[in-house]
């Protein structure tokens, strides 16, 4: 799990570190999955090869285009951007044109991170459902896809959220709880490994293998 590829706080990983990490994955034989491949692996319990990882970037920051995308292209790695569909007019976020351009390159795909990035826990069922369905519809129509994954803002969800996920047509949901996602977890609360700035490659390697 990444967010912004820049520097300044614990949620931002500098481009130089992101490049080192993507180069590590490439040189160590990892396959970076698309969202479709990750869904298939989780659903069927079958993996395309032993060393796999699903790179996710939350919040659809503009630097995913200016900093992450060139690195992904150069290192031939793939990532999923969890897109906030109501933020396309904000200066520091990706527009629809950005998303379409990036998707066409084949190294990035897009899943939902809701419309307004509100804490779903604090919303009524109907408002949660609206955040989930509207963002899915926007992505489905504008990017010509069947969006299968919802990423919870701040990783927070409740029992109603899971019901809304299903009603909205999502197959999997991503939380921010730490751990390697597996096909035996609840599909609506998949864990993720957080990459933090300044992390050594040894620690990064530990995130991939689950070593403590």
Residues near Zn ion, by CB under 5 A: 58-59, 153
Minimum distance from residue 141 beta carbon to Zn ion (Å):
22
Whichever of 153 and 187 has its CB closer to Zn ion, that residue is: 153
Query: 47 with 81: CB under 8 angstroms?
Result: no
Cα–Cα distance for residue pair 75/73, rounded to 1 Å: 6
Minimum distance from residue 119 beta carbon to Zn ion (Å):
10
Whichever of 58 and 98 has its CB closer to Zn ion, that residue is: 58
Minimum distance from residue 111 beta carbon to Zn ion (Å):
12
Whichever of 30 and 113 has its CB closer to Zn ion, that residue is: 113
Minimum distance from residue 153 beta carbon to Zn ion (Å):
5
Residue for token pair 């396959």: 31
Whichever of 75 and 128 has its CB closer to Zn ion, that residue is: 128
Minimum distance from residue 209 beta carbon to Zn ion (Å):
26
Minimum distance from residue 51 beta carbon to Zn ion (Å):
27
Other beta carbons within 10 Å of 56: 21
Whichever of 19 and 93 has its CB closer to Zn ion, that residue is: 93
Cα–Cα distance for residue pair 185/110, rounded to 1 Å: 22
Phi first, then psi, for residue 53 (nearest 5°) are -150, 145
Whichever of 41 and 117 has its CB closer to Zn ion, that residue is: 117
Continuous segment of H or E residues that includes residue 32: strand 31-32
Four-point Cα dihedral 16, 82, 141, 127, nearest 10? -150
Cα–Cα distance for residue pair 204/194, rounded to 1 Å: 9
Residue for token pair 């698309």: 34
Cα–Cα distance for residue pair 162/175, rounded to 1 Å: 12
């Amino acid at each position: 799990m990444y967010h912004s590829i820049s520097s300044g706080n614990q949620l931002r990983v500098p481009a130089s570190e992101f490049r080192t990490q993507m180069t590590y994955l490439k040189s160590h034989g990892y396959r970076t999955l698309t969202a479709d491949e990750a869904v298939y692996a989780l659903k069927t319990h079958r993996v395309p090869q032993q060393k796999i990882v699903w790179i996710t970037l939350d919040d659809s920051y503009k630097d995913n285009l200016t900093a992450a995308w060139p690195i992904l292209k150069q290192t031939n790695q793939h990532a999923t951007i969890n897109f906030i569909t109501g933020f396309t007019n904000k200066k520091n976020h990706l527009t629809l044109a950005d998303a379409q351009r990036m998707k066409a390159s084949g190294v990035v795909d897009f899943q939902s991170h809701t419309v307004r990035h509100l804490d779903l826990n604090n919303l009524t069922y109907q408002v949660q459902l609206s955040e989930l369905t509207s963002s899915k519809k926007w992505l489905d129509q504008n990017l010509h896809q069947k969006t299968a994954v919802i990423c919870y803002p701040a990783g927070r969800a409740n029992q109603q959220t899971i019901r809304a996920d299903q009603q909205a047509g999502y197959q999997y949901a991503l939380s921010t709880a730490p751990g390697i996602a597996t096909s035996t977890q609840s599909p609506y609360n998949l864990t993720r490994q957080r990459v933090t700035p300044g992390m050594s490659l040894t620690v990064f390697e530990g995130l991939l293998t689950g070593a403590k």
